Amino acid sequence: MMKINAFKLLAYGPFTDKVLDFSGSDFGLHVVYGLNEAGKSTALRALIGLFYGFGHIVADDWLHDYNKLAVGASLDFLDGEVLNLSRYKRRKNDLINDDTGEPFEQAKLDLHLGKMGRENFEHAFGISHYSLRQGVESVLAAGGDLGHALFAATSGLNTLKQVMAKLEGKHNQLFTPLAKKAVINAGILQLNKLRKEQREASAGHRQWKKMKKQLDDLQQGEVEGIKQVEALGSKISLLSRYRQALKYVAAREQLEKDLTELGVVPDLPDDFSQRRVATQVAIKESRQAENNLTRDLDDIDRKLEKLTYDEKIIANEKLIKTLADEAHVHAQATTDSKDQRARIYQHNESAQQALDLLRPGLTLDSVQALRLSKPEKGKIQRLGAKGAKSEESVNSAIKALRLAEANLEKAHAELDQLEKPKDTSALADCLTRAAEYGKLEDRLADAKAQLALSKEQVDADLAALGLWTGNISELERLALPTEETMRAFETDLADADQQLADTEKESVRIQEPLKEKEKALLKLTKTRELPSLDDLRAHRNLRNRGWQSVRTVWLEGGDVDHDFMAAFPESRDLAGAYEKSVAGADNTADVLRDDADAVARAEALRTDIQHQKESLKEIKARQQGLEKDRAALWSKWEELWKPLGIDPLTPREMAAWAGRAAELRRKTSEVRKHQMAADQLQADIERIRSDVATAIEHIAVTFSEKASYSAIIELARRIVKHNDQLRQNRLDLELRITALKEDINAGRQRKSEVEQNLRRWSAEWAQTISKLGFSVDARPEDVNDFVLALDDVFAELEKAKERQQRIDAMQHNRKAYAWRVAEAVAKLAPDLIDLEPEAAAIELNARLTGDKEQRQEYRLLEEEKRKKRSVLSKENEKLAALEETLRLLCIDAHADSPDQLPDIETRAAAKIKLMDKLDTVNERLAELASGQNLQEFVAQVKAHNPDELVAKLEKLEAEKQEFLTKQKRIVQEIALATKELQSIGGESLAVAIAEEAEGLVGKIQADVEYYVKLRLASAILTKTMERYRQSNQSPVLSIAGDYFKTMTQGSFAGLRADFDDKGDPVIKAKRPDGKMLTLAEMSDGSRDQLFLALRLGGLARYVKANGPMPFIVDDVLVHFDDDRSAAALAALGELAKETQVVFFTHHKHLISLAESSVSDEILRVHEL
| Least confident among 68-72, 168-172, 450-454, 774-778 | 168-172
Strand extents, DSSP E, 699-839: none
Highest mean pLDDT among 3-17, 579-593, 925-939, 964-978: 3-17
Give residue 490's identity as a one-letter amino acid code: E
Convert the pLDDT of each residue in 148-207 to its tens digit.
555 555 554 444 445 565 666 666 666 676 566 677 777 777 777 776 665 555 544 555
Strands 95-97 and 82-88: antiparallel
Give residue 570's identity as a one-letter amino acid code: E
pLDDT of residue 119: 78
Query: Over pLDDT 70: what percentage of the chain?
Result: 87
As a whole number, mean pLDDT of residues 1121-1137 equals 89
Give me the helices (H) in 699-708, please. Answer: none
Backbone angles phi, psi at 70, to 5 degrees: -155, 140
- Given a cut of 80, whether residue 277 has pLDDT beyond it is yes
pLDDT of residue 30: 92
Round the average pLDDT of the chain to a whole number and report it: 79
pLDDT of residue 351: 81
For the sheet containing 95-97, what is the strand order? 15-21, 2-12, 70-77, 82-88, 95-97
- Given a cut of 50, whether residue 976 has pLDDT beyond it is yes
Query: Over pLDDT 90: what percentage of the chain?
Result: 2
As a whole number, mean pLDDT of residues 273-282 equals 86
Residue, of 1023 and 971, whose pLDDT is higher = 971
Cα dist from 184 to 177, 256, 1016, whole Å: 10, 88, 17
pLDDT of residue 474: 74
Do 40 and 1168 meet the contact criterion of CB atoms below 8 Å apart?
yes
Convert the pLDDT of each residue in 718-759 to its tens digit.
888 888 888 888 888 888 888 888 888 888 888 888 878 777
Q: Does domain 1-114+1111-1126+1135-1168 have CATH number 2.40.170.20?
A: no
pLDDT band for position 29 (cuts 50, 70, 90): very high
Q: What number of H helices and E strands is found in the chain?
A: 31, 13
Do 918 and 252 meet the contact criterion of CB atoms below 8 Å apart?
yes
| Least confident among 266-280, 833-847, 950-964, 1044-1058 | 950-964
Give residue 119's identity as a one-letter amino acid code: E
DSSP structure string for 193-230: HHHHHHHHHGGGHHHHHHHHHHHHHHHHHHHHHHHHHH
Convert the pLDDT of each residue in 762-786 to its tens digit.
777 777 777 777 776 777 777 777 7
pLDDT of residue 31: 92
CB-count exposure of residue 9 (10 Å: 0-12, 13-18, 19+): buried
pLDDT of residue 1143: 92
Give residue 800's identity as a one-letter amino acid code: A
Q: At CA 1113, angle to CA 1107 and CA 1114, rounded to 5?
A: 155
Backbone angles phi, psi at 121, to 5 degrees: -65, -45
Convert the pLDDT of each residue in 557-606 to its tens digit.
777 777 778 877 887 777 777 777 878 777 777 776 666 667 667 777 77
pLDDT of residue 571: 76
d(CA 964, CA 970): 10
DSSP structure string for 417-442: HPPPP---HHHHHHHHHHHHT--HHH
pLDDT of residue 146: 47
Residue, of 19 and 272, whose pLDDT is higher = 19
DSSP structure string for 832-877: GTTS-HHHHHHHHHHHHHHHHHHHHHHHHHHHHHHHHHHHHHHHHH
Cα dist from 99 to 3, 84, 85, 86, whole Å: 18, 6, 8, 10
Q: At CA 634, angle to CA 629 and CA 639, rounded to 5?
A: 125
- Given a cut of 80, whether residue 315 has pLDDT beyond it is yes
d(CA 293, CA 873): 10
* End-to-end C-alpha distance for the chain, whole angstroms: 27
pLDDT of residue 592: 66
- Given a cut of 70, whether residue 858 has pLDDT beyond it is yes
- Statement: the pTM of the whole predicted model exceeds 0.85: no
What residue segments make up the domains of the chain, in order of their start? 1-114+1111-1126+1135-1168, 206-268+903-984, 272-306+837-892, 425-467+651-698
pLDDT of residue 918: 80
Instruction: Give the other-Cβ count within 10 Å of 202's Cβ.
Output: 16
Cα dist from 1126 to 251, 636, 1122, whole Å: 111, 37, 6
- Given a cut of 70, whether residue 635 has pLDDT beyond it is yes
Do 644 and 480 meet the contact criterion of CB atoms below 8 Å apart?
yes
| Least confident among 231-235, 622-626, 887-891 | 231-235
Convert the pLDDT of each residue in 101-155 to its tens digit.
899 988 888 888 877 778 777 777 888 877 777 776 766 655 545 455 555 555 5
- Given a cut of 70, whether residue 18 has pLDDT beyond it is yes
Backbone angles phi, psi at 679, to 5 degrees: -60, -40
- Given a cut of 90, whether residue 73 has pLDDT beyond it is yes
As a whole number, mean pLDDT of residues 224-238 equals 77
d(CA 987, CA 989): 6
Strands 1076-1077 and 1065-1070: antiparallel
Strand extents, DSSP E, 1120-1168: 1141-1145, 1163-1167
Do 168 and 1017 meet the contact criterion of CB atoms below 8 Å apart?
no
List own/partner pairs for 1164-1167 with CB under 8 A and 24 or more apart: 1164/22, 1164/24, 1164/28, 1164/29, 1164/30, 1164/31, 1165/30, 1165/31, 1165/33, 1166/20, 1166/21, 1166/22, 1166/30, 1166/31, 1166/32, 1166/33, 1167/32, 1167/33, 1167/34
d(CA 354, CA 345): 15
